[in-house]
C-alpha cells in the first residue's frame, strides 16, 4: 500500500465526512444497469448494501473513491437490508449486489451475514444468476465452496477491482494496494470453481494525461480478456462530491474526469471478439456522485443514447456512429490528447510535493520527503522489471 496516498486519503475522507451529513447507515442504494443477459437486452438491478466500511478505506482507500465510512452497523441491520434488496429485485433472474468494499471480507461482511445473503438468493425462487464483488485477497476455497453449496443451481459471478495492469499506476495513482499474486490466485481459483468473474478496469486515474489514460485502459482490457480470458467491467472514473483525491485535484485545476470521446476511443480499439467479454455498466452510482463522463451540452445526450444502445446489444456500430458525430468539442478533446507532461515518475513526485504541502503542511514535506520520493522511485523501478519479465 502507498503510505503517502493513504495518509492523504485518510485526511480528505475524514474532513469530508466530518463536514457532510451523509450517513448511509442501513441504507440501500439502487440503480439499473443496461446490459445483456442470455444474449438479450436486460435491465440489471444493481444494489449497494450499506456495511460498516470498506477495510481498504480504513487505511485511506483508493484516490477516486469515497465509499466506506466507519459506521456502527450490526449484523441484523445488514440482513434487514438484504431482505429488502431481494424484495426489490422480485422476478428478475439476474441481480447484482455490492457492499462498500468486499463481500468476502469477514471483517466487513461477517460469515453469518454472507451465508444469509446466499440463502436469501437461493430461497427467493426467481434467481438464475447472482453477481457480487470482492477484493481478491478475501477469496478462499472454503468461502467459494460454501457460496456454491448454498446457491445450488444459481450461477455466481464475482467482480474484482484490478483498475490497471500497470503496477506503478495502481500503486502510485490509484493506491489500490493490490498484490498481483493475490489477484492471479483469485482469478485461477474462481476458474477452478467455475465461478464467473468480472474484472474492473478504470479509465483515467489521477496524474495520467487523457492520452496515457486511454492507452492504459486499452492495454489492461486486452490483457484481461486475451491473457486471463475473463470478462471486463469498464469504468470511466466519475467525480464524487467530496472525500476523494480526484475531487481535491479537480478543484485545483489538476484533474478532469475523462471525456466521453475517450470512452468511445477505448471501445473503438477493441475487436468484435474482445467486445464479447467487455461490459460497460450504467454511468450511475450512489448519492455522493457528482459528475460522470460527458462532452459538451450539444452532443452528450446523443452519445449517451448511442452508448446505451451498445450496452444493450454490444453492437459496435453504435460506438462508430457516436465517434462519427461532428461536434466542436471534439477539437477540445484532440487538444487534450496532445497535452505534454513530465515523465510519469517526475510528474507524480511533483504532484505529491504539492499535495503534501497543501494538505499535510510544509514541515511535513521537509521531514518526510525522502521516503516518499524513494517509495515512488522503487515502485517505478519494480514496474519496469515486471514489464521486462512479462515480455520474456
Ligand atoms: Zn460536443
CA of residue 299 to ligand 1 center, whole Å: 4
Residue 149 region, left (φ>0) first, then alpha (ψ -120 to 50), else beta?
alpha
Q: Read off the pLDDT of each residue in 239-263 and give the average, rounded to a whole number.
A: 97
Model pTM above 0.85:
yes
CA of residue 294 to ligand 1 center, whole Å: 9
Q: What are the grid coordinates assigned to 322, written together?
A: 457516436
CA of residue 271 to ligand 1 center, whole Å: 26
Tell me if residue 153 falls in helix, strand or coil.
coil
Q: Read off the pLDDT of each residue in 110-132 and give the average, rounded to a whole number.
A: 97
Quote the percentage of the chain above a pLDDT of 90: 89
Please check the confidence at residue 391 and state whether its pLDDT lies above 80: no
**pLDDT band (50, 70, 90) for residue 249:** very high
Domain borders along the chain are: 3-341
CA of residue 305 to ligand 1 center, whole Å: 14
CA of residue 36 to ligand 1 center, whole Å: 28
Q: Which of 23, 67, 7 is nearest to 289 (CA)?
A: 67
Q: Which CATH class is domain 3-341?
A: alpha beta
CA of residue 236 to ligand 1 center, whole Å: 18
CA of residue 301 to ligand 1 center, whole Å: 9
CA of residue 366 to ligand 1 center, whole Å: 45
Q: Which residue has the cell 475517450?
A: 262
Q: What is the pLDDT of residues 189-243, one digit of tens each?
A: 999 999 999 999 999 999 999 999 999 999 999 999 999 999 999 999 999 999 9
CA of residue 316 to ligand 1 center, whole Å: 20
- What's the longest Cα–Cα distance across the chain? 61
Q: What is the pLDDT of residues 23-77, one digit of tens each?
A: 666 678 999 999 999 999 999 999 999 998 899 999 999 999 998 777 788 999 9
CA of residue 255 to ligand 1 center, whole Å: 20
Tell me if residue 43 falls in helix, strand or coil.
strand
CA of residue 79 to ligand 1 center, whole Å: 45
Amino acid at each position: 500500500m502507498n503510505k503517502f496516498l493513504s495518509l492523504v486519503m485518510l485526511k480528505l475522507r475524514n474532513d469530508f465526512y466530518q463536514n457532510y451529513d451523509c450517513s448511509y447507515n442501513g441504507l440501500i442504494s439502487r440503480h439499473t444497469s443496461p446490459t445483456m443477459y442470455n444474449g438479450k437486452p436486460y435491465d440489471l438491478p444493481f444494489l449497494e448494501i450499506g456495511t460498516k466500511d470498506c477495510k481498504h478505506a480504513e487505511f485511506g482507500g483508493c484516490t477516486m473513491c469515497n465509499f466506506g465510512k466507519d459506521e456502527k452497523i450490526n449484523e441484523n441491520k445488514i440482513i434487514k437490508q438484504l431482505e429488502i434488496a431481494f424484495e426489490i429485485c422480485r422476478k428478475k433472474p439476474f441481480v447484482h449486489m455490492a457492499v462498500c468494499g468486499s463481500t468476502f471480507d469477514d471483517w466487513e461482511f461477517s460469515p453469518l451475514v454472507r451465508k444469509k445473503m446466499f440463502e436469501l438468493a437461493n430461497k427467493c425462487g426467481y434467481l438464475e444468476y447472482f453477481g457480487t464483488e470482492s477484493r481478491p485477497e478475501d477469496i478462499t476455497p472454503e468461502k467459494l465452496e460454501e457460496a456454491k453449496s448454498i446457491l445450488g443451481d444459481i450461477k455466481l459471478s464475482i467482480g474484482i477491482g484490478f483498475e490497471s495492469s500497470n503496477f506503478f499506476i495502481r500503486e502510485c495513482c490509484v493506491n489500490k494496494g493490490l498484490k498481483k499474486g493475490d489477484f492471479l490466485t483469485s482469478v485461477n481459483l474462481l476458474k477452478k470453481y467455475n465461478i464467473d468473474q468480472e474484472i474492473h478496469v478504470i479509465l483515467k486515474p489521477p496524474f495520467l494525461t487523457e492520452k496515457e489514460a486511454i492507452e492504459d485502459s486499452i492495454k489492461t482490457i486486452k490483457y484481461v480478456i486475451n491473457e486471463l480470458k475473463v470478462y471486463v467491467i469498464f469504468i470511466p472514473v466519475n467525480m464524487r462530491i467530496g472525500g476523494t483525491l480526484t475531487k481535491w485535484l479537480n478543484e485545483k485545476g489538476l484533474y478532469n474526469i475523462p471525456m466521453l470521446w475517450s470512452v468511445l476511443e477505448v471501445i473503438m480499439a477493441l475487436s468484435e471478439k474482445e467486445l464479447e467479454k467487455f461490459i460497460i455498466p450504467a454511468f450511475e452510482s450512489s448519492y455522493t456522485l457528482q459528475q460522470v463522463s460527458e462532452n459538451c451540452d450539444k452532443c452528450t445526450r446523443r452519445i449517451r443514447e448511442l452508448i446505451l444502445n451498445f450496452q444493450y446489444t454490444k453492437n459496435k456500430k453504435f460506438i462508430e456512429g457516436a465517434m462519427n458525430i461532428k461536434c466542436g468539442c471534439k477539437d477540445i478533446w484532440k487538444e487534450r490528447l496532445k497535452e505534454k507532461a513530465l515523465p510519469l515518475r517526475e510528474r507524480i513526485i511533483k504532484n505529491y510535493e504539492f499535495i503534501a504541502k497543501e494538505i499535510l503542511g510544509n514541515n511535513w514535506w521537509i521531514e518526510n520527503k525522502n521516503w516518499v520520493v524513494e517509495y515512488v522511485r522503487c515502485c517505478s523501478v519494480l514496474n519496469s522489471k515486471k514489464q521486462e519479465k512479462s515480455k520474456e
